[in-house]
Amino acid sequence: MPARNAFYAQSGGVTAVINTSAAGVIEAARDHPEAINTVYAGVNGILGALDEQLIDTGRESAESIAALRYTPGGAFGSARYKLKGLDENRAEYERLIEVFRAHDIGYFFYNGGGDSQDTAHKVSQLGEAMGYPITCIGVPKTVDNDLPGTDTCPGFGSVAKYIAVATREAGLDVASMAETSTRVFILETMGRHAGWIAAASALARDHEEAPPHVILLPEVALDEARFLERVRACVERIGYCVVVVSEGLRTADGRFVADQGTRDAFGHAQLGGVAPAIAAMVRERLGYKYHYAIADYLQRAARHIASATDVEQAHALGRAAVEFAVAGHNAVMPTIVRDADAPYRWHIGQVPLADVANREARMPAEYIDADNLFVTEAALRYLRPLIAGEDYPPYRDGLPEHVHLRAERVAPRCPPFRD
């Protein structure tokens, strides 16, 4: 069978290590010239295929590809763009096949979360049906850690480490000032539906009374009275309280706590910000001085404090996607299989895309404390190895150095598809 080209695309929210997976894919493809000619990367992910905007990664040096390992964000551009169902918008899938055919693309590597695995699955089905069989392999990625069938997802370990480090550092700050300043510090983390990121802050606790003291998860409705009582008791006992809260925290009636009816100067609903809502509660009901931080993109872009374990897994999964494809597998996603907690041992496995698509892995109930205000030792045992190890980027003039790719475009061969 003659070698063919590959298409690689990044999808959804980017992470500190999605480019590390890209490096894994491209480097492994270069190791298999008998099967893969060139990896074309989509400009802005799957939009790059629809718009026939392809970057020829063959024009990048080995050094540049290796440097992707240290570069956060999406080096080729990512997109929040979910292809509809086959019945609703068959034209988009047909367009993908048209572009793939024009560039002799025989492999599709889709680096994303649940939606993206669903898309990769559909493309593999449609290609078959249209007489253009294409090998579709998912590469897992999501800071939310909510993909099923894998021990963890690349991107999560690094954001978990960032949040744990930030909690420990800011906790020391608050502790040292509490007597005359801030009593309650609130750190808002990402996580609309799953509390994995907020839960990881618990790793910061190195003794019984160390921060964080309360973790508010989206899996359980906020019991305001119980929460405030916990904060009050903590401040009375040790002088301060550190609260970590997931952006997706909800009230008992299912509303986001962040949507507290707050109005801005123009009278419009002020969106976002569960931290200020929690802070207002603390001030109104307890009267404590507070501060809050909203880490937002800083947490998922923080390559400077990435987990070495996460980086290693991101790279290995990128490589494995190519190895699986070359070995004849199709419509699968490589996964992390945990062999042991401590010391952490793992190997690469795989799941069918059909089993991953559109399913969400929530935190198990046994990871949440009985009072719903912290996580359990079982959660810590699961989380601990994921943040292990540092993998510092190179620095110049005090700042991390990131690669700037040549990003040369492949000449289009198809008519335009969208305006």
Site for its own copies in 333-392 (CB under 8 A): 384, 387-390, 392
What is the nearest approach in angstroms of its own copies to the Cβ of residue 50? 12
Contact 282, 274 (CB under 8 A): no
Contact 272, 262 (CB under 8 A): no
Angstrom distance (rounded) from CA 306 to CA 158: 5
Hey, is 133 helix, strand or coil?
A: coil
* Pick 88 or 268: Cβ nearer its own copies: 268
* Residues 39 to 98 in contact with its own copies, rule: CB under 8 A: 44, 47, 71-81
Residues 6+ apart with CB under 8 A from 337: 150, 151, 346, 347, 348, 349
Task: Look up 144 and say whether it is catalytic.
Answer: yes
Q: Which of 63, 87, 88, 206: binder of its own copies (CB under 8 A)?
A: 206
Under the binding rule (CB under 8 A), the answer on residue 258 touching its own copies is no
Q: Which two tokens stand for residue 71?
A: 């570069």
What is the nearest approach in angstroms of its own copies to the Cβ of residue 299? 9
Q: What are phi and psi of 368, to 5 degrees?
A: -110, 130
Under the binding rule (CB under 8 A), the answer on residue 313 touching its own copies is no
Under the binding rule (CB under 8 A), the answer on residue 173 touching its own copies is yes
* Pick 87 or 397: Cβ nearer its own copies: 397
Residue 93: name the closest of 131, 130, 132, 123 by CA: 123
What is the nearest approach in angstroms of its own copies to the Cβ of residue 188? 9
Annotated binding residue 300: yes
* Residue 113 region by backbone torsions, left for phi larger than 0, else alpha for psi between -120 and 50, else beta: beta
* Pick 300 or 351: Cβ nearer its own copies: 300
* Residues 266 to 285 in contact with its own copies, rule: CB under 8 A: 266, 268, 270, 272-273, 275-277, 280, 284
**Catalytic member of 51, 118, 144, 151:** 144
Annotated binding residue 286: no
DSSP letter assigned to residue 227: H
HSE value, Cβ hemisphere, 13 Å, CA-based, for 76:
36
Under the binding rule (CB under 8 A), the answer on residue 262 touching its own copies is yes
Hey, is 339 helix, strand or coil?
A: strand
Angle at 154 (CA atoms; ends 85, 350), nearest 5 degrees: 65
Q: Which residues pair with 128 in a beta bridge?
A: none
Angstrom distance (rounded) from CA 353 to CA 118: 7
Angstrom distance (rounded) from CA 282 to CA 358: 37
* Residues 393 to 412 in contact with its own copies, rule: CB under 8 A: 395, 397-400, 402, 404
* Pick 69 or 303: Cβ nearer its own copies: 303
* Pick 124 or 300: Cβ nearer its own copies: 300
Angstrom distance (rounded) from CA 69 to CA 148: 25
Under the binding rule (CB under 8 A), the answer on residue 181 touching its own copies is yes
Which residue in this structure is represented by tokens 């993998």?
Answer: 391
* Pick 290 or 324: Cβ nearer its own copies: 290
Q: Which of 303, 325, 331, 374: binder of its own copies (CB under 8 A)?
A: 303
Under the binding rule (CB under 8 A), the answer on residue 237 touching its own copies is no
Under the binding rule (CB under 8 A), the answer on residue 293 touching its own copies is yes
> Can you say how many angstroms the Cα of residue 336 is from the centroid of all Cα atoms in its chain?
15
Annotated binding residue 351: no
What is the nearest approach in angstroms of its own copies to the Cβ of residue 141? 13
Residue ranges of the binding site for diphosphate: 13
Residue ranges of the binding site for substrate: 142-144, 190-192, 247, 297-300
Q: Annotated catalytic sites, by residue?
A: 144
